[in-house]
Amino acid sequence: MTAQLDDDVDAMFQALADRTRRDIVARALVEGLSVSELAAKYDMSFAAVQKHVAVLERAGLVTKQRSGRRQVTRTDLGAIRTVRDLLGDLEIQWRERVERIDALLAAEGDGSAEGDAPDTTTTRPGSSQQRSR
Amino acid sequence: MTAQLDDDVDAMFQALADRTRRDIVARALVEGLSVSELAAKYDMSFAAVQKHVAVLERAGLVTKQRSGRRQVTRTDLGAIRTVRDLLGDLEIQWRERVERIDALLAAEGDGSAEGDAPDTTTTRPGSSQQRSR
DNA sequence: TTGACGTACAACCGTTCGGTTGTAGGATGA
DNA sequence: TCATCCTACAACCGAACGGTTGTACGTCAA
């Protein structure tokens, strides 16, 4: 499973592509906050913050729960995990590809020295190489 | 450490917020692909795909390497990890908060029986779920 | 009841985005 | 050399984005 329609994923990444919204997610993760409490923390209008919260809610990254006249916003950790796992899947896919190539190279073994099929090489994936830029 | 300017993070999430670009990232992860090879796979103009690749490159999610007249595009797994870890950090932060609350409740100990602070709970994080780095 | 608070939403505006077409230039192969 | 391939980039267009102001409505405390 983990089907996740593209539109949902679009919305999640889109929502996280704004620093104000990422900050809201982080704050609302620690404790539920009303929209106006959130708005007080940013140098923009209340309506703007309200819109940001709406975007996050539409993306499912945050939930709102009414409490009197307050609308308490809280981050949905499950949704965050979903996004994270999406990226994690790419790493798995990459690792499988490396194993496939390794197996291929091991199986070859003999002397064929041409270089046609695997023009991707040049990068020896054996090492670490994390944390670039 | 792990500084990552907000602009960089903005660019990364922004870049991943489009399904075509996510698909390019996934394809270029398996093997390096030229821009026109990529363009052949989508129902849009060559220039559009070229723009998508440019966005990914600007975000650091992909690198290009000239090979004759081809421009081979390849996904940078390190950058993908960076984004994933950003989300992972949120989970860590959340777990720390839970521990803080648990400690607080334990320290209290006495008779207060209401349920006020921890209304997020219901999800006991005590189980496994490794994968933090 | 009344006034202040918290929220929702519409309307507007400048900028960015995702796409198009068109033009131009470097590399390759016959 | 010359036609072809692959790429780069400018110009344009409609839609979406991030922000603003203004208005309206439910809820709470005096």
| DSSP assignments along B66-81, one per residue | EETTEEEEEE-HHHHH
| Residue A44 CB neighbour total at 10 angstroms | 11
Whether A70 and A34 have beta carbons less than 8 Å apart is answered as yes
Question: Along the 133 residues of chain B, how does pLDDT read in single tens digits?
Answer: 666 789 999 999 999 999 999 999 999 998 899 999 999 999 999 999 999 999 999 999 999 999 999 999 999 999 999 999 999 999 999 988 888 888 988 887 755 444 333 333 333 333 333 333 3
pTM of the model: 0.81
Number of cross-chain residue pairs from A and B with Cβ atoms under 8 Å apart = 107
Do A87 and B91 count as a contact with CB atoms less than 8 A apart?
A: no
Residue B8, Cβ density class (10 Å: 0-12 exposed, 13-18 middle, ≥19 buried): middle
Query: Is A19 in Cβ contact with B6 (below 8 Å)?
Result: yes
pLDDT digits (tens, 9 = 90+) for A7-53: 999 999 999 999 999 999 999 998 899 999 999 999 999 999 999 99
Count how many residues are written for chain B: 133
CB atoms within 10 A of CB B109: 7
**Nearest-CA residue to the C1' of D18?**
A48
Between CA B41 and C1' D3 the distance (Å) reads: 26
> Of B68, B84, B80, nearest to B28 (Cα)?
B80
Give yes or no for a contact between B108 and B62, defined as CB atoms under 8 angstroms apart. no
| Closest-CA distance of chain A to residue B31, Å | 6
